Amino acid sequence: MNQLQLEESKLVDFLSNDLMDAFREEFMQLHPYDQSLFFEKVDPEIRKKIFHYLSPKEMAELFEATKFEEEQYEFYLKEMDTTYAADMLSYMYADNAVDVLNELGKDQVASYLSIMDVESAQEIKDLLHYEEYTAGSIMTTEYVAIPETSTCRSAMTILRNEAPKAETIYYLFVVSEEHQLTGVISLRDLIIADEDTLIKEIMNERVVSVLVSADQEEVAHMIKDYDFLAVPVVDFEQHLLGIVTVDDIIDVLEEEASDDYSKLAGVSDMDTFDKSPFQAAKKRLPWLIILLFLGMMTASLMSVFTETLEKVALLAVFIPLISGTAGNSGTQALAVAIRGIATGDIEKQSKMRLLAREAGTGLTTGILCGIIVVGIVFFWKHDLVIGLLVGAAIFVSIFVATICGSFIPLLIQRMKIDPAVASGPFITTINDVISILIYLGLATVFISSLQV
C-alpha cells in the first residue's frame, strides 16, 4: 500500500468514526485535486459526511480543482442539501459555476439561482446567456479593472480590495469612464512605478482582445500564440465584459482534442469507460451504419469485375494489400490536414501549397512502394506482369489517396462544416472504392497480358 492509499484509508477511518477534527486536519493538508480524487472514490454515505464536515466554500475549491464527467455534476449536487449546493456554486468562480449549471436542467438551474445571493446569481445569469463554445461562455467576470485616470497608489488600493475575488491579478485591465478597454498594465509594472504616476502614462495601449462572440478555439489559439495568462473579452464597442484565463483554455483544448479524436475514430461523441454497452453502442452505431452502406459500394464495385477475377484468380490475393495501403496513406494525409486546420497553420499558408506538397509526397511514396511491391510479387509468384500490375495499382492508389486525404478536409471546411467529420473510417472507405476501381480497372484493360 503506497502513501496515498494510506492517507485515503486514514481519512475513511476518521469519517467512519465521526472524527471531524482529525479528518479536517488531515484532509485540508491535501491539494484540492487530491481531495477531489478522494471525494470521487468514496461511497455516497461517506460523501454525505464530507458535506457535513466541509463548508460550501471549501467544497467549491474541491469542485474547481478537477473536471468531473458531465453526468457526475448532477449526481453529486443531488447528494447535497439544496441550500448547501447553491452556496457552494456562489463561492465558485462564475465561469466555473456556469460550466456546472450547463449540465443541469433548466428547472434545477432556476432553483439554485433563486437561492444564491443576488450578486453571484446575476453574474452567473449574465454568463449563461452567451452562446455555447464562444468567448462569452468561457470568460470570467472576476477580474481587476483600473480607471485610466487613477494613480498607481489608488490602483494598488483597488487591487488589494479586488484581489481576493479576482481569478488572476497578474494583468490589470485599464478602462475609461464608459468602461471601455483602453490599456493593460502588468502587476510588475504597477509595483515598480512611482506611486503618483497616472496609470494612463505607463499602461500599454496596444491591447490584444477578443470579441465576446469569438469561437473558443480562436481564443485558445490567440492565448497559445501570444503566451498570455489571460485575454480580455469585449463587445463591439470595446466595453470590457470579462477575461478568459489560461486554465479555461487548457480545458477547451482538451475538449476540442477529444472531440476531434472521437470524430476521427468515427464516433459521434467520445464514450467513456463508465458508459454502459448499450450507451456506447448507441453512440457508435450511426457512423457504423453509414460506413456499412459505403462499404456496400466496394462490394458492388467488385461484382462489376467478376469476369476479370474469374479469369485471373490471383488478382484477388492483392486486394487487401492495395486497399489497406491506400487507406493508410489517405489517413496520414488526413491527419496532417486536420492538424493544420486545428492549429491554424493552414490559414497562415496557402492551401494550394499544402495540396502540392501532399501530391509530391504521394508521388514519392507511391513510386517507392510500387517498386518494392513489384520486386516482392516477382520473387514470390515469379510473375513480372502481375507484379507490374500490382505495383502500378499501389502507385496510383497511394497518389490519389494522399490527395483525397488532404483535399476532403479542406473542402468540408470551406462548406463551414467541422473537418474532423472527414473521419479516418470515412476516408478509408472512400479510398477502398478508389483503389479497387484503379486496380481491377487496370487488370481489365491489360487482361490479355496476364497469365490465366
pLDDT 10s digits, 286-329: 666 766 776 677 667 667 777 766 666 677 778 888 888 888 88
Residues 15 and 77 in one domain: yes
Pairing of strands 145-147, 171-175: parallel
Residues 290 and 414 in one domain: yes
Residues 163 and 124 in one domain: no
Does residue 197 lie in a domain region?
yes
Count of domains forming the chain: 3
Does residue 352 lie in a domain region?
yes
Residues 230 and 337 in one domain: no
Sign of the four-CA dihedral 380, 381, 385, 388: negative
Residues 251 and 376 in one domain: no
Among residues 255, 289, 312, the one where a domain terminates is 255
Q: How is 190-220 classified by DSSP, letter by letter? A: HHHS-TTSBHHHHSB-----EETTSBHHHHH
Among residues 134, 160, 188, the one where a domain terminates is 134
Does residue 265 lie in a domain region?
no
Residues 413 and 438 in one domain: yes
Residues 251 and 289 in one domain: no
What does the pLDDT average to over 360-372?
91
- 205: CATH: 3.10.580.10
- 331: CATH: 1.10.357.20
Full-model pTM: 0.62
Tell me, what's the pLDDT at 72? 84
**Strands across the sheet with 181-186, in order?**
145-147, 171-175, 181-186
Host domain of residue 370: 277-449
Does residue 266 lie in a domain region?
no
First to last CA, the chain: 69
Q: How is 321-353 classified by DSSP, letter by letter? A: HHHHHHHHHHHHHHHHHHHHHHHTHHHHS-HHH
Q: How confident is the model at residue 86 (pLDDT cuts 50, 70, 90)?
A: very high
Residue 18: closest CA among 46, 39, 38: 46
Choice among 44-53, 143-152, 237-246, 382-391 with the minimum mean pLDDT: 382-391
Residues 117 and 152 in one domain: no
Q: Is 372 helix (H, G, I), strand (E, B) or coil?
A: helix
Residues 287 and 379 in one domain: yes
Task: Tell me the β-bridge partners of 107.
Answer: none
Does residue 441 lie in a domain region?
yes
Residues 153-169 as b or e (16 or more Cβ within 10 Å = b): eebbebbeebeeebbbb
Does residue 119 lie in a domain region?
yes
Rounded to whole angstroms, how far apart are CA atoms 450 and 452?
6
- 20: CATH: 1.25.60.10
Residues 313 and 222 in one domain: no
Residues 294 and 436 in one domain: yes
Among residues 255, 286, 305, the one where a domain terminates is 255
Residues 89 and 23 in one domain: yes
pLDDT 10s digits, 29-72: 888 888 888 998 888 888 999 999 999 999 999 988 877 777 78
Listed in sequence order, the residues at least 6 apart from 40 whose beta carbon sits closer than 8 Å to its beta carbon are 68, 72
